[in-house]
Structure 1
Amino acid sequence: MLLRFAENLGFNFCAVTVAMPQQVTSINTLQINNYPDEWNRQYEQRKFSSIDPITAHCNQSMMPIVWNETLYEKAPHVWQALQEQGQISPLELYEHFGYIFYAASHLSELFARTLPKQSMKPDQPHLSPRELEVLQLSAGGKTAYEISKTLRLSERTVNYHVQNVIEKLNVCNKISAVIAAARAGII
């Protein structure tokens, strides 16, 4: 369904990976793409994932990224291989960013629902009262700027609390922190 959605938006190729943090090894990574079989084989055989800057970016962020030559300065042979497959233009991404971000967010949520329930409740990280306030406001869709005005803090302090929560919950971004906190019953 996601691949058809990307095709209908006009993208030639689409790839989505949903993975758990490295500490959780019993859950398989969900990988979906419509790249040619030959490219997928080559990518795996040549272990491109270990040097691919797109993979490195996606391990840290849920935001889409545009392929360009500058990004692949340290892996020019991967760039050359990608050029043979085609690439997304910045204009395409700009035109369709909202749709893709919406679909990727919902795919992550659907994947999270399929995970087995934990039989034992893991120790919940201790969040300070201020971190909880920031997290609850973030869950309500507030930006760091809006939270800073509500709590009468600097935006930098809000971002400091957000970063602490991200580290304590062992996730990669604010959205993941809100989801993890909600699933753990923290908020």
Structure 2
Amino acid sequence: MDKWKDLQLRKLSCEKDLQTAYRLTLNFFNNQGFEYCAFAAYLGTPDKHTGKVNLNNYPYGWDRFYEQNGHASNDPVIAHCNQSPLPILWDEQVFARAPKLWRELNRQGLKYGWTQAVHDELGAHYSLFSLARTHRAIDIEEHYGNLGYAIFASRRLHALASKKLSESIADTRKYHLSPREIEVLRWSAEGKTASEVGRILCLSERTVNFHVCSCMRKLNVSNKISAVAKAAHIHVI
């Protein structure tokens, strides 16, 4: 291992801040030839979770497209990672049952990549780590040449994210926010109106407003914007 790689990995192993650790990881794999690096950690699973950390440099709008189209429930990469910590390389065959998702990945330049999962022994936290690029397929030699680095980085990010998610749960319990209230605040933070949140969550606009008012009361704030800001501050969203 050359000195630069050794230095970066040592920095990553000592880093306590999740955002900084992600930036170190992104820089490391940019220098390994990958344009994109993504890390997501969940309390639960990607298609059914009560807490989430999401860090990536994917093209603008990708996260919203993915969530709004409910791709977590039919993504074959997630299906694989739910069952195995072994990495999975992306290709057309893997996405045979999700052609719309595959076409969009290609359109966005997320064509060549791989994903691997990290599972807690206790099953509370679940993480996905992905590397991708626009050009040049990933051959086996390159894949295994980077696999050890990816495993190290993903486990370090997983440890930091698990700590953050655990703190979020403690804050949620302190303020007694329900999973549905958190969902409403999360979509409100995306700039969605009560009507739009209702359509996304299959709720009436009146019910969405009820949840917003409940959040305001529990968080001791006077409006929706303040509720979103405080929820973000305590890492609930």
Q: Per-residue CA shift, 1:141-161, capped at 9, x if unaligned?
A: xxxxxxxxxxxxxxxxxxxxx
Q: State the Cα distance separating 1:5 from its structure 2 match.
A: 2.4
- The correspondence of residues 28-177 of structure 1 with structure 2, limited to 5 A, is 28-84=51-107, 85=109, 86-88=111-113, 89-91=137-139, 92-114=142-164, 115-116=166-167
Q: State the Cα distance separating 1:38 from its structure 2 match.
A: 2.5
Partner Cα separation in structure 2 for residue 74 and residue 21 of structure 1 = 24
What amino acid maps onto 2:99 in structure 1? P
Q: Per-residue CA shift, 1:7-51, capped at 9, x if unaligned?
A: 1221121211111236xx995211111110132222222222211
- CA root-mean-square deviation: 2.6
SS class of match (1:16)? strand
Q: TM-score, normalised by structure 1?
A: 0.54
Give the number of equivalent residue pairs: 117
Partner Cα separation in structure 1 for residue 169 and residue 69 of structure 2 = 36
Could you list the runs of 5+ residues in structure 1 that have no partner in the other structure?
120-187
Partner Cα separation in structure 2 for residue 26 and residue 42 of structure 1 = 18
Higher strand share: 2
- State whether residues 37 and 57 of structure 2, in contact with CA within 8 Å, keep that contact through their aligned partners in structure 1: yes
Partner Cα separation in structure 2 for residue 117 and residue 54 of structure 1 = 27
Label 1:49 to 1:71 Cα distance change in 2 as closer, same or farther (>3 A): same
Q: Per-residue CA shift, 1:69-98, capped at 9, x if unaligned?
A: 111111111111111223223324222111
Partner Cα separation in structure 2 for residue 77 and residue 117 of structure 1 = 34
Label 1:8 to 1:118 Cα distance change in 2 as closer, same or farther (>3 A): same
What amino acid maps onto 1:13 in structure 2? Y
Could you list the runs of 5+ residues in structure 2 that have no partner in the other structure?
1-22, 114-136, 171-237
- State whether residues 41 and 162 of structure 2, in contact with CA within 8 Å, keep that contact through their aligned partners in structure 1: no
Partner Cα separation in structure 2 for residue 103 and residue 77 of structure 1 = 30
What amino acid maps onto 2:42 in structure 1? A
- State whether residues 92 and 102 of structure 2, in contact with CA within 8 Å, keep that contact through their aligned partners in structure 1: yes
2:231 corresponds to: none
Q: TM-score, normalised by structure 2?
A: 0.43
- State whether residues 17 and 30 of structure 1, in contact with CA within 8 Å, keep that contact through their aligned partners in structure 2: yes
SS class of match (2:40)? strand
Partner Cα separation in structure 2 for residue 49 and residue 36 of structure 1 = 18
Label 1:50 to 1:117 Cα distance change in 2 as closer, same or farther (>3 A): closer
Q: Per-residue CA shift, 1:84-139, capped at 9, x if unaligned?
A: 223223324222111011100111122223323999xxxxxxxxxxxxxxxxxxxx
